[in-house]
Amino acid sequence: MAAATIRRKYVISGQVQGVGFRPFVFRIARDHGITGTVSNTSQGVFIEAQGTPQAVAAFGTDLTDKLPPLARVVSRTEEDIPPREDEQLFTIVASEGGSGQNVLISADVATCQDCLRDMFDPSDRRYLYPFTNCTNCGPRYTITRAIPYDRDKTSMACFPLCPQCREEYENPMDRRFHAQPNACPKCGPHVWLASADGTQLARDTEAVVQTAKALAKGHIAAIKGLGGFHLACDATATAAVDRLRARKKRPGKPLAVMVPDMAAAQALAHIGSGEAALLQSVERPIVLCRLKQGTPLAPQVSPHTDHVGLMLPYTPLHHVLFHLYREILPHEACAALVMTSGNMSSEPISLGNREALLRLHDIADIFLLHNRDILIRTDDSVVRVNPDTHEPQFLRRARGYTPRPVFLDGEGPCVMATGPELKSTLCYTRGDQAFVSQHIGDLQNLESFGFYREIARHLQSVLEVTPQAVVHDLHPDYLTTSYAEGRAQRDGIPALSLQHHYAHIYSVLAENRFSGPVLGIALDGTGYGEDGTIWGGELLYVDNSRLDHERLGHLAPMLLPGGEAAIREPWRIAQGILWQNGTTGPGDIPWPWQEQFRDAARVLPQVMERRLNTPLTSSCGRLFDAVSAMLGICISVTYEGQAAIMLERIQDMGVTAPYPCPMRTDVQPLMLDTHALFMAAYADWLQNVPAGVISRRFHLGLMHGLAEAAGSLAEVMDIATVGLSGGVMQNRTISAELPPLLRRRGLSVLVHRELPPGDGCISLGQADWGRRMLMQQ
């Protein structure tokens, strides 16, 4: 051993397993004449590099500058250790277990270009093979049981490698070195086509051919994908889309559409650079794009909005299906398939073959199945380009992004947060990271709650964490509240509660790693308030450095006649606001809902007078619903947000004059007089002013009212920053135009960038508040 030889140990944590990191280290070690070892452990990647000081220094530089495409380094430590004599090689050693804390599980990754070339080369042994992958692509999170990420800890453990695949798997110079899902037609999973009763109809490529033919004929297929099943049909066939909606019991909510490539996407919608980058990213989310006029898509794909959710194929099976589907279609035909979650409305996405056949046999005509088990249900992510920041804005965060952590402002103890009841997620913290689960959905049935508990167990297991507290919503009847209380009692840890809208603001602060006081504007549909009423349009003071928060103001309270019925039938809210403001009947002009709901509308005043099942709410979402119903745009809804979506769509964007929406300072907390806003809109409706003008003036009035109120409160309280959160921030108009109005008043604006502004962010806010609570004890 030469006297100038040194040996340096590196420990690298982050997303460094299952992404080709060890072969990358092997290659740069060879390039610099380095000997030593590299291994995966539950702490991260351990490297010992030995050579001349110059060679080791160059090796260390390449560790930073030449990372594999999917690698994400969170931390890196290095120290010099004694050199070893007689070491001749650099070797990759077997993975080690252990109780580590620093490994990041990779999210699932779309098929890479190298694998696509293999799949569509007729001379390649993986020609049209629907499970082709390498270290740069393929399933990760959805097939992983535990860490370190090795084949025996994935659902590929039951597929022994053939000699050719094993040679690739063991060759550090091959891009499939230690690609855990590596497979080929000889040794890997396969697909088959089944009828609704489970009878096998075809296998392998012929199964995909027959699926493509059935889709072209207007049939509905259940297709086993990466994180669960899709229900698919021809997106240009009105009869097929209508049939899918009827069977799935999803009458109006928009359906996602998969197209084979960017050219097909650009034929259907306006695709800006931001949308194009998202569509082609390795995460491959559903991206909301503005529809072009005259597209061949069936009108019922996206009936209430001028946007459509598009995505490109992200698994080899998708690519093979579209390849064969396009061969069947006429040359000029549009190859576009509805790809919606494989479930009945309100249920979790189907996971296994038997489960899908049991739950989806009344929806799908055929089932394209395979025998690679999905271990973790994960729906498609839904993203759009934020019109204000021009950055991605999540509407649903799941496949491709989960379990990527949100990095927090400093280290802290482990906390579990159980999240909300609707659009549920849960969260664990570890060190300076928060791991928010994939979108779980609405916890309104046992199936969804079972999915929730699956993820709670799995995330805690793979993260190897032990929570020191559990945080839940203030609502006493939420399943997440009872779950938290049960966990706390079982584990002997405290259960802490945080009000829904404060959690929204703590969440946007956590995402932005902001510490200090802010004025929070939380706008959504429903949240149980500290006073027992339903909050939803809140002006809040939040200081996460001191864990101090207070309700400063809110929208004018509205009645919800019939309780939950008013959410399904927003005409009740409209009539309630009119009644609160002295308009007890329609006068000469009948209200839009009178004919359809004649009897209920007639008795509603007595219901409100006696306050029978008529709670109060300050909900901003319900205000949108009321205006939409008052205009006759949407008097009853079939999915959340429908009335607001339809109201936003009809705006006359040439209008510039807002309706008045003053702040009332004669009450405490302060109140934004949204009744005055509503009644101004009603007065114009009585004068037969076009609905598009009224909608635009309403949107403008609300935004100007919020901005004026925020500016006044911020000045009084000497606050320079506003945090925006809540489901209403998914309204394109509000998210585009409210932040600039706030900035004009000298305020800095914080918005969500890594999580949805809706209830999917609640668990992060709960978790960050909870860990801060523990740290201050």
Q: Are residues 642 and 690 in the same domain?
A: yes
Q: Are residues 74 and 212 in the same domain?
A: no
Q: Are residues 292 and 220 in the same domain?
A: yes
Q: Are residues 307 and 231 in the same domain?
A: yes
Of 28, 59, 92, at which residue does a domain stop? 92
Q: Are residues 342 and 217 in the same domain?
A: yes
Reported as a single tens digit per residue, the pLDDT across 521-535 is: 999 999 999 999 999
Reply yes or no: is the peptide bond before residue 148 cis, omega within 30 of 0: yes
**22 catalytic residue (yes or no):** yes
Domain of 485 in residue numbering reads as: 408-511+760-777
- Angle, helices 762-776/500-511, rounded to nearest 10 degrees: 80
Reported as a single tens digit per residue, the pLDDT across 636-658 is: 999 999 999 999 999 999 999 99
Cα(44)–Cα(73) distance, integer angstroms: 10
Look at residue 614 and tell me if it is in a domain. Answer: yes
Cα(618)–Cα(672) distance, integer angstroms: 10
76: domain CATH number?
Answer: 3.30.70.100
Calculate mean pLDDT across residues 158-167: 97
Look at residue 755 and tell me if it is in a domain. Answer: no
Residue 346 pLDDT grade (very low, low, confident, very high; cuts 50, 70, 90): confident
Residue 736, H or E segment: helix 732-743
Taking all residues of the chain, what is their mean pLDDT, rounded to a whole number? Answer: 94
Look at residue 99 in the predicted model and tell me its pLDDT. Answer: 46
Q: What angle do CA 434, 437, 438 make, to 5 degrees?
A: 140
Reported as a single tens digit per residue, the pLDDT across 427-476 is: 999 999 999 999 999 998 888 999 999 999 999 998 989 999 999 999 99
Q: Which residue is associated with the tokens 């079982």? A: 490
Residue 101 has pLDDT above 70, yes or no: no
Rounded-to-5 percentages of helix, strand, coil across the chain: 35, 20, 45
Number of compact structural domains in the chain: 4
Q: Are residues 331 and 432 in the same domain?
A: no
> Count of H helices and E strands in the chain?
22, 32
Residue 622, H or E segment: helix 620-630
Calculate mean pLDDT across residues 7-22: 87
Cβ atoms within 10 A of the Cβ of 476, count?
11
Calculate mean pLDDT across residues 511-519: 97
CA atoms within 13 A on the CB side of 638: 12
The alpha carbon dihedral of 529, 531, 535, 541 has a sign of negative
Look at residue 71 in the predicted model and tell me its pLDDT. Answer: 86
Cα(645)–Cα(666) distance, integer angstroms: 34
In the chain, pLDDT over 70 holds for what percent of residues? Answer: 98
Q: E strands, 544-629, where? A: 548-555, 558-559, 616-617
Look at residue 32 and tell me if it is in a domain. Answer: yes
Is-contact 47 36, C-beta < 8 A?
A: yes
Bridge pairing between strands 221-224 and 392-396: unpaired
Calculate mean pLDDT across residues 148-158: 89
Residue 579 has φ and ψ, to the nearest 5°, of -65, -40
Minimal CA–CA distance to 687: which of 589, 593, 595? 589
Reported as a single tens digit per residue, the pLDDT across 606-639 is: 999 999 999 999 999 999 999 999 999 999 999 9
Of 45, 62, 92, at which residue does a domain stop? 92
Residue 278 has pLDDT above 80, yes or no: yes
Cβ atoms within 10 A of the Cβ of 429, count?
30
The DSSP letter of residue 381 is: P
Residue 6 has pLDDT above 90, yes or no: yes
Look at residue 146 in the predicted model and tell me its pLDDT. Answer: 82
Calculate mean pLDDT across residues 218-229: 97
Look at residue 219 and tell me if it is in a domain. Answer: yes
Q: Are residues 697 and 659 in the same domain?
A: yes
Reported as a single tens digit per residue, the pLDDT across 204-218 is: 999 999 999 999 999
- Beta-bridged to residue 559, according to DSSP, are 616
Residue 1 has pLDDT above 60, yes or no: no
Is-contact 81 48, C-beta < 8 A?
A: yes
Look at residue 172 in the predicted model and tell me its pLDDT. Answer: 84
Q: Are residues 355 and 414 in the same domain?
A: no
pTM of the model: 0.93
412: domain CATH number?
Answer: 3.30.420.360
DSSP 57-118: HHHHHHHHHS--TT-EEEEEEEEEE---TT---EEEPPP-----S-BPPPPPBPPPHHHHHH
**Which of 284-288, 346-350, 414-418 has the least mean pLDDT?**
346-350
Minimal CA–CA distance to 722: which of 710, 712, 732? 710
Residue 2 has φ and ψ, to the nearest 5°, of -70, 150
Record the tokens describing residue 33, joined without a space.
């004449």
Cα(168)–Cα(183) distance, integer angstroms: 10
Q: Are residues 611 and 678 in the same domain?
A: yes
Look at residue 572 and tell me if it is in a domain. Answer: yes
347: domain CATH number?
Answer: 3.90.870.40
Residue 43 has pLDDT above 80, yes or no: no
Q: Are residues 207 and 285 in the same domain?
A: yes
Look at residue 158 in the predicted model and tell me its pLDDT. Answer: 96
Minimal CA–CA distance to 511: which of 236, 750, 175? 750
Q: Are residues 491 and 637 in the same domain?
A: no
The alpha carbon dihedral of 738, 741, 742, 743 has a sign of positive
Contacts of 539 (CB under 8 A, 6+ apart): 519, 520, 521, 551, 552, 553, 554, 669, 670, 672, 706, 709, 710, 713
Reported as a single tens digit per residue, the pLDDT across 559-568 is: 999 999 999 9
Residue 249 has pLDDT above 80, yes or no: yes
Look at residue 173 and tell me if it is in a domain. Answer: no
Residue 503, H or E segment: helix 500-511
Look at residue 173 in the predicted model and tell me its pLDDT. Answer: 86
Look at residue 300 in the predicted model and tell me its pLDDT. Answer: 96
CA distances in angstroms from 717 to 278, 390, 671, 672, 714, listed in the order given: 40, 31, 17, 18, 5
Reported as a single tens digit per residue, the pLDDT across 700-711 is: 999 999 999 999
DSSP 276-340: HHHHTSTT--EEEEEEPTT-SS-GGGSTT-SEEEEE---SHHHHHHHHHHHHHS-TTS---EEEE
Contacts of 351 (CB under 8 A, 6+ apart): 228, 229, 374, 377
**598 catalytic residue (yes or no):** no
The DSSP letter of residue 610 is: H
CA distances in angstroms from 721 to 131, 417, 452, 554, 772, listed in the order given: 49, 26, 35, 18, 20
Question: Which residue among the candidates 7, 8, 30, 40 is catalytic per the annotation?
Answer: 40
Q: Are residues 738 and 608 in the same domain?
A: yes
Look at residue 72 and tell me if it is in a domain. Answer: yes
Look at residue 191 in the predicted model and tell me its pLDDT. Answer: 98
Question: Which residue among the candidates 7, 22, 151, 372 is catalytic per the annotation?
Answer: 22
Look at residue 183 and tell me if it is in a domain. Answer: no
Is-contact 231 341, C-beta < 8 A?
A: yes
657: domain CATH number?
Answer: 3.30.420.40
**Which of 15-24, 162-171, 262-271, 473-482 has the least mean pLDDT?**
15-24
